Amino acid sequence: MEQEKQRRLRTLPAVHEVISRLEHEEEFSPFLTNEKQLPRLTQGVRQVLQKARENVNRNFKDSYAEFETSLWSWLKTQLLQELTHPETSLRRVINGTGVVLHTNCGRALLAPEVARFVAEHAEMYSNLELNIETGERGSRYVHVEELLCHLTGAEAALVVNNNAAAVLLMMNTFAQGKEVIVSRGELVEVGGSFRIPEVLKAGGAKLIEVGTTNKTWLRDYEAAIGPETAVLLKVHSSNYRVEGFTHSVSGTELVELGETRGLPVMEDLGSGSFFDGTNLGFPLEPTIQQTVKAGLSLVSFSGDKLLGGPQAGIIVGKEAFVQRLRANQLTRALRVDKLTLAALEGTLLLYKNGGLEEIPVWRMLSLPIESLKSAASELVGALHSNPAISVELKEDFSQVGGGAWPTVDLPTWVCAIRPKQGSVVELEKFLRLGPVAILTRIHKDRVLIDGRTLLEGDREDIVRRLGELS
């Protein structure tokens, strides 16, 4: 083993040897003839040789089965990939996981026309904070406020950096130095370290927990109200469900209680949706409009979860309350960028004009099972002749992601791949470490690729990468 490793390490050429051999390879001439590109080429050769050494040391075969014979072609392929690789840190990833709102991959995708609108605004001056009629300074929030009020039925709206910031702002504005009552069943932690108790603390509010994990009654809130109580807060349980022997208090009931005791009721809806997804098979949950209608003072939700827009924290509710948020200095620190506002306005316009199928998140969530099947079987078909793997069409389930409908399994079809050599763990890694990272899911002895979250051109890249296995 060790001997073989040493032998392999010795066969690796030196940097100058690689470069002089490349002089006979046509595809590298753009890099050899251009003085500016030469340092990049040298650097690339170093990196690829380093990668080869690491592979030998780990005894990880990567794409070359017979080391010596395929070394040169392996080096060339890797080098070309290295050189044509974008130099940016932020790169395209192929999401073959079927998780539509994949937090690690940037959550919601924008609709193409929304993305174009954003790109245009990145390159031009606009009336971001200008009242064109009077020539005076305006507010950046007017561009989306009317649309948000129109779509949600609320009196007023404000947008901040994300939903965590929205909750922080609400608590800081209305409950600093005071008490906030929250059910023990709603003290959530959302991925990426958002914890309701911590956010309340950061906002300067004191958390008063009521009820138990599975049951909270109106009388629990009632009993906890005291002279220091500032807000009754409801939080969407997002990424978990308490099932069985449970009870929680609805927004409507809390609003009634709040009215009799003179207290505002606020809700962190988490994902929040303009649509009830029951016709897509999702369990019934109050929409944003229904929550607003229940009479809550303020309701907050994310822009890049089920809404399908940019990262943002949207707060809608009663005018008097939103006005106090606007007056808080923190709002300035949490304000959103013009590109976010452009993306949000574009997305909200799609909702206003009824183009649900144009919003990628909803298009992916509502894909008919036949088209999921044909997407997966096209991939299976394209991979059939690959001698290094065996592929099958299989039924499976996709996930919504982003903490929305965590218990819902969306029926789908996947391309299930079994490597003829090596393990599935190695195959998953091989796909992830290619020129474009391909994210997949491992299930038992197979790597699964779900057609639900694949985009145009992804299939070709997957087929090409797997072709490098053989």
Ligand X SMILES: *Cc1c(COP(=O)(O)O)cnc(C)c1O
Contact status: 403 vs ligand X (CB under 6 A): yes
Give the residue among 57, 63, 16, 78 at the shortest CA–CA distance from 431: 63
3-state secondary structure 197-252: HHHHHHCCCEEEEECCCCECCHHHHHHHCCCCEEEEEEECCCCCCCCCCCECCCHH
Question: Nearer to ligand X by C-beta: 13 or 106?
Answer: 106
User: Which residue of this chain has its Cβ atom nearest to ligand X in the complex?
Assistant: 270
Classify residue 111 by burial, with Cβ atoms within 10 Å: 0-12, 13-18, 19+.
buried
Give backbone dihedrals phi and psi of 18, rounded to 5 degrees, phi first: -60, -45
Please tell me the distance from the alpha carbon of residue 164 to that of residue 330, in angstroms, as a whole number.
Answer: 13
Q: Tell me: does residue 302 bind ligand X (CB under 6 A).
A: yes
The residue among 45 and 200 lying less far from ligand X, judged by its C-beta, is: 200
Is residue 268 near ligand X by the rule CB under 6 A?
yes
Closest residue by Cα to residue 383 from 419, 437, 432, 433: 419
Taking the least distance from each CB to ligand X, the nearer of 269 and 294 is 269
DSSP for 154-190 reads -SEEEEES-HHHHHHHHHHHHHTTSEEEEEGGG--EE
Rounded distance, CA 92 to CA 90, Å? 7
Q: Specify the residue, 95 or 271, whose C-beta has the smaller distance to ligand X.
A: 271
Residue 328: CB minimum distance to ligand X, A? 18
Phi and psi torsions of 120, nearest 5°: -60, -45
Taken in order 12, 16, 19, 21, is the CA torsion positive or negative? negative
Residues 6+ apart with CB under 8 A from 148: 154, 157, 159, 314, 316, 348
- Tell whether residue 238 is a contact of ligand X (CB under 6 A): yes
Is residue 310 close enough to count as binding ligand X by CB under 6 A?
A: no
SS3 state of residue 403:
coil
Q: Is 235 in the site for ligand X (CB under 6 A)?
A: yes
Q: 3-class SS at 426? A: helix
Q: Tell me the DSSP string of 336-392.
A: PPHHHHHHHHHHHHHHHTT-GGGSHHHHHHT--HHHHHHHHHHHHHHHTT-TTEEEE
Q: How far is the CB of 145 from ligand X (least distance, A)?
A: 19
**16 CB burial (10 A radius; 0-12, 13-18, 19+):** exposed
Which C-beta is closer to ligand X: that of 44 or that of 272? 272
CB atoms within 10 A of CB 157: 22
Q: Is 162 in the site for ligand X (CB under 6 A)?
A: yes
- When binding is defined by CB under 6 A, the residue of 18, 159, 188, 249 that contacts ligand X is 188
How far from 185 is each of 86, 93, 214, 215, CA to CA, in Å? Answer: 46, 36, 6, 7
Q: Does 291 bind ligand X (CB under 6 A)?
A: no
Which of 163, 287, 347, 398 binds ligand X (CB under 6 A)? It is: 163
Single residue of 203, 313, 360, 401 touching ligand X by CB under 6 A: 313
Kindly indicate which of the ranges 135-143, 210-218, 263-271, 441-449 contains the residues binding ligand X, using the contact rule CB under 6 A. Answer: 263-271
Q: Which is nearer to ligand X, 271 or 297 (CB)?
A: 271
Q: How far is the CB of 271 from ligand X (least distance, A)?
A: 6
* Residue of 194, 221, 282, 430 that binds ligand X (CB under 6 A): 194
Residue placing its CB nearer to ligand X in the complex, 170 or 438: 170
Q: Which stretch binds ligand X (CB under 6 A): 160-168, 208-216, 225-233, 406-414?
A: 160-168
Which of 258/309 has CB closer to ligand X? 309
- Residue in 99, 114, 164, 466 binding ligand X, rule: CB under 6 A: 164
- How far is residue 384's CA from residue 380's CA, in Å, rounded to a whole number? 6
Q: Closest distance between ligand X and the C-beta of residue 188, in Å? A: 6
The phi and psi torsions of 366 (rounded to 5 degrees) equal -105, 15
Q: Is 185 in the site for ligand X (CB under 6 A)?
A: no
Nearer to ligand X, 155 or 198 (CB): 198
**Based on CB atoms, which residue is closest to ligand X, 314 or 389?**
314
> Counting contacts by CB under 6 A, is residue 270 touching ligand X?
yes
CB 234 → ligand X: shortest distance, Å? 10
Size, binding site for ligand X by CB under 6 A: 15
Q: Is 236 in the site for ligand X (CB under 6 A)?
A: yes
Contact set for ligand X, span 56-75 (CB under 6 A): none
Strand 313-317, strand 298-302: pairing:
antiparallel
CB of 74 to ligand X, least distance (A): 41
| 405 near ligand X, rule: CB under 6 A | no
State which residue, 60 or 240, has the beta carbon closest to ligand X: 240
Interacting residue ranges for ligand X, rule: CB under 6 A: 162-164, 188, 190, 194, 235-236, 238, 268, 270-271, 302, 313, 403
